[in-house]
Structure 1
């Protein structure tokens, strides 16, 4: 069965960006929609449920970081910032506010398409995984995005849930640190292993019977992590 085409929403007020990006996205098989303001972009995210959002920071009605913050209240998919703001502080703020990646204008279409493919990879992997998974006391309903432990609901923030589903998609294989970091936090954080260690620790606290001696979320020293059912 053919996989459904990915939906890409571009939120940018520059007409030339849409004239350039629209045909390029459609040429490689993506569905594409545009939004020229932050308010329109938020409506599209809520109503269309895109697979990836490409977001400019300089919008006419609100700052792109405000759009990012509002979107993260209800949208867990990848958000790639596309902006002419090249100061390191702007990048850090956007990434810490929930962006998955940051691409500076001007940009090459090849690079942007590569980053979109990286952002889509976790979803593509999960399409081959069963929709309900159980290990130990844990049950994960991938369709409902619902996790329980011994029947009690477990609250996982977006990054922790994304990390758990990525580990599940590995089917017991070791997933390298860098692969997990790029998939969950974006290319800009490919070397930030502390992010991963903290998130793994939080998952173990919530899911393992003995977090200091985990039997499910297992460390492979110097390589990465695997999930044993």
Structure 2
């Protein structure tokens, strides 16, 4: 289960993926995915199914959203082998790709579906580079709620404590709407909602042991009125 300062709780898709509370949600609440109407879903099943992954050095565009590394104005730094982003995006919110070989990759996880990885400082050519990079998503229309699936490392005997996933939510004017952070293991489905200004974009970073991937990004193409 997840608990935030709002008192909202959600259950994980798998029992093994219970994860910890969000500390600084700001104007963002973690909510039950079942109560939301998010008809648009981005998966990566139309991409080549490659076990070792395929790198993408440019922005990835989909109906209703574009995916890259970070937003213009965000400083990119390294923390161990992970990307680290600050929260100072420039207005209006504009998406940037990462350096060649350090942007995005799509990889087939075993016999399951394709998932999206951010490629970190070690680069795509190093297996450990995928999953440790930043991922940022810019929505065409402002969103009242969004959701996604997160694949985190499974714990094993003697493994170090899990790292964390950090999601920053931005308005169209690049104002920070709030942050959510969590840790856990396995495949986790999580949804987020705001009652204030619409969500124009999100930045996702992590310090998970083996990095993370994301899939099934859900949202609506109906603009937020306000």
Of structures 1 and 2, the one scoring higher in RCO (CA 8 A, sep 6+) is: 2
Question: Do both share a fold (TM > 0.5)?
Answer: no
TM-score by length of 1: 0.23
More strand by share: 2
More helix by share: 1
TM-score by length of 2: 0.23
